[in-house]
C-alpha cells in the first residue's frame, strides 16, 4: 500500500471509496451517480456494471459494514457480547455509549447516507421507527433483562431503548459531520459522552 490504494483496488472498490467520501461531503441525496464515477475516475456507464442503482451501492456499503463488524467481534474476546451488562452502572453505560459513538464516527458516510435514505422514504413509510428500533436492539435486551431482575425502569424497555438511541444518533447527526455544530467542534467526544451518560443515568437531578 505504497501510493494510497490508487488503481490497485478494483473499480468497484474505487466507486465505493468515492461514494463514501462524497456522502459525507455533500450528502447522499445530493450526490449523483455521475459525481461518484467522476470522483472515482471512471465513466458513467461503468457504474452499472457493478451496481444497478445508487440504493444498491448503499446496500453494499452497509453489508461491508456488517461483515467487518461481525468479523471484529469474532476475533475478539466478545463471544456474543455479555448480555448481563448493568446499564445502571456508570462505567458500563458509558462504555456502551462510547462504543456506539465510535461506530458512528468510524462509519459516518454510511450512517449518514442511511439516515438520509430513511428520511427520503417519507414519514408514512415507518422506516424512521424501524431504523430506531433495530439500532437499539441490544440496548432493549439489556433493559429487559434488568427489568426482569427487578430493576425499576422509566417505562417500556423498548421505548426507553428507542429514546436513548434517539438522543445519541440525533446528536451524532448534528455534531459529527465536519463543519457542523457551528464551526470548530464545540465539544470533545469525551464531553459529549460524559454529558449524555450522566443525563441518561441520573437525569437532570443528577
Partner DNA sequence: GTCTATACGCGGATAGAC
Partner DNA sequence: GTCTATCCGCGTATAGAC
Binding site for a second copy (CB under 8 A): 24-27, 29-30, 87-88, 93, 112, 115-116, 119-126, 128-133, 152-156, 159-160, 162-164, 166-167, 169-171, 173-175, 177-182, 186-187, 191-192, 194-196, 198-206
Residue-wise DSSP of the chain: --SSSGGGS-HHHHHHHHHHHHHHHT-TTT--HHHHHHHTT--HHHHTTT-SSHHHHHHHHHHHHHHHHHHHHHTSS-SS--TT--TTSHHHHHHHHHHHHHHHHHTHHHHHHHHHHHHHT-GGG-HHHHHHHHTTHHHHHHHHHHHHTT---SS-HHHHHHHHHHHHHHHHHHHSSTTTTTSS-SS-HHHHHHHHHHHHHH-TT-
60 makes contact, choosing from a second copy, DNA, none, with CB < 5 to 8 Å by partner type, with none
Q: Shortest gap between Cβ of 31 and DNA (angstroms)?
A: 8
182 makes contact, choosing from a second copy, DNA, none, with CB < 5 to 8 Å by partner type, with a second copy
15 with 40: CB under 8 angstroms?
A: yes
132 makes contact, choosing from a second copy, DNA, none, with CB < 5 to 8 Å by partner type, with a second copy
- Contacts (CB under 7 A) with DNA, residues 28-67: 32-34, 37, 41-46, 48-50, 52-54
Nearer to DNA, 45 or 79 (CB): 45
In the numeric block, which cell numbers belong to residue 181?
Answer: 455544530
187 makes contact, choosing from DNA, a second copy, none, with CB < 5 to 8 Å by partner type, with a second copy
Q: How many residues bind DNA (CB under 7 A)?
A: 18
Q: Shortest gap between Cβ of 198 and DNA (angstroms)?
A: 43
Q: Shortest gap between Cβ of 160 and a second copy (angstroms)?
A: 6
List the end-to-end C-alpha distance of the chain, in Å, as a whole number.
50
* 8 binds DNA per the rule CB under 7 A: no
For the chain, how many residues are written?
A: 206
Q: Shortest gap between Cβ of 35 and DNA (angstroms)?
A: 8
| Residues that bind DNA in the complex, under the rule CB under 7 A | 10-11, 32-34, 37, 41-46, 48-50, 52-54
Amino acid at each position: 500500500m505504497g501510493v494510497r490504494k490508487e488503481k490497485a483496488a478494483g473499480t468497484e472498490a474505487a466507486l465505493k471509496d468515492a461514494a463514501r467520501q462524497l456522502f459525507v461531503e455533500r450528502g447522499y441525496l445530493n450526490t449523483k451517480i455521475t459525481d461518484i464515477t467522476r470522483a472515482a475516475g471512471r465513466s458513467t456507464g461503468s457504474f452499472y456494471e457493478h451496481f444497478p442503482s445508487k440504493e444498491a451501492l448503499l446496500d453494499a456499503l452497509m453489508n461491508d459494514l456488517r461483515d467487518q463488524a461481525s468479523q471484529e467481534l469474532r476475533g475478539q474476546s466478545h463471544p456474543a457480547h455479555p448480555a448481563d451488562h448493568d446499564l445502571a452502572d456508570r462505567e458500563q453505560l458509558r462504555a456502551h455509549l462510547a462504543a456506539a459513538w465510535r461506530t458512528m464516527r468510524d462509519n459516518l458516510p454510511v450512517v449518514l447516507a442511511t439516515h438520509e435514505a430513511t428520511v427520503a422514504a417519507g414519514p408514512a413509510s415507518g422506516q424512521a421507527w424501524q431504523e430506531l428500533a433495530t439500532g437499539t436492539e441490544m440496548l432493549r435486551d439489556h433493559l429487559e433483562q434488568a427489568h426482569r431482575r427487578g430493576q425499576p425502569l422509566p417505562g417500556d424497555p423498548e421505548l426507553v431503548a428507542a429514546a436513548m438511541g434517539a438522543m445519541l444518533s440525533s446528536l451524532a447527526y448534528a455534531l459529527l459531520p465536519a463543519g457542523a455544530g457551528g464551526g470548530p467542534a464545540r465539544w470533545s467526544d469525551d464531553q459529549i459522552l460524559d454529558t449524555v451518560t450522566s443525563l441518561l443515568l441520573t437525569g437532570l437531578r443528577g
